[in-house]
Amino acid sequence: MEGSGADERAWIRRAQEGSTSAMEALFRHHWGRAYRAAYLVVHDAAAAEDIAQEGFLAAVRNLDRFDRRRPFGPWLHRIVVNRAIDWARARTLRRETGGVPLELVAGDDEPGNPHARTLAEGLAGLSPEHRAVIVLRHLLEYTPGEIAGLLGLPRGTVNSRLRRGLDELRDRLGEDIR
């Protein structure tokens, strides 16, 4: 996802010069997908908020070093998705819900959101690594080659994770989610 091209480059330039309104435009433009990507990997609203927020804070800290000729989205998404994978791996080890199935936790937040719940429940059964490549491919619309670059993986690994993850997701949801 490349944001809005010229607008985005202008926001970054003005944000680098200190414009709060430009920073807000950049934040508002990217918040939804960053949050959603984190949520679909970690399945925890509070954690997704922290991760997305910290992604933007990392962006603020590194704003002056950012090459504004390049799109902002991939850079932000690399941060958010890698942190989400870290968080989900740690949680897999810790299983902090004390025996409550993960899908029930995911569903606690907003009962009136059936699509997202279903998707979240389906994704909850996959490993964090499989969730991440599916989210990058289908939510954020990166190509497998771009995903390989974002996650530092061989392209073949991305392809196999996508294939296996989607097969499993299809089995769980009984439909093709693409």
Q: What is the DSSP letter of 63?
A: G
- Binding flag, residue 104, other proteins (CB under 8 A): no
Taking the least distance from each CB to other proteins, the nearer of 86 and 168 is: 86
Q: Which residues contact 80 (CB under 8 A, 6 or more apart)?
A: 34, 37, 38, 51, 52, 55
The one among 2, 70, 104, 110 contacting other proteins by CB under 8 A: 110
Taking the least distance from each CB to other proteins, the nearer of 48 and 158 is: 48
Question: Considering the complex, what minimum distance in angstroms separates the CB of residue 96 from other proteins?
Answer: 5
Angle, alpha carbons 139-95-36 (nearest 5°) = 15
Helices (H) and strands (E) in the chain, counts: 9, 0
Q: How many CB atoms lie within 10 A of CB 136?
A: 27
Q: Looking at 6-14, 75-83, 125-133, 155-163, which segment touches other proteins (CB under 8 A)?
A: 75-83
Q: Tell me if residue 168 falls in helix, strand or coil.
A: helix
Answer whether 89's CB lies under 8 Å from 128's CB: yes
Residues 113 to 172: which contact other proteins by CB under 8 A?
Answer: 113, 115-120, 138-139
Rounded Cα–Cα distance for residues 108 and 151 (Å): 30
Q: Looking at 6-14, 94-102, 124-132, 158-166, which segment touches other proteins (CB under 8 A)?
A: 94-102
Question: Considering the complex, what minimum distance in angstroms separates the CB of residue 148 from other proteins?
Answer: 15
Q: Which residues bind other proteins (CB under 8 A)?
A: 15-16, 18, 20, 23-24, 27-28, 31-32, 35-36, 39-40, 45-46, 48-50, 52-65, 78-79, 82-83, 86, 93-99, 106, 109-110, 113, 115-120, 138-139, 177
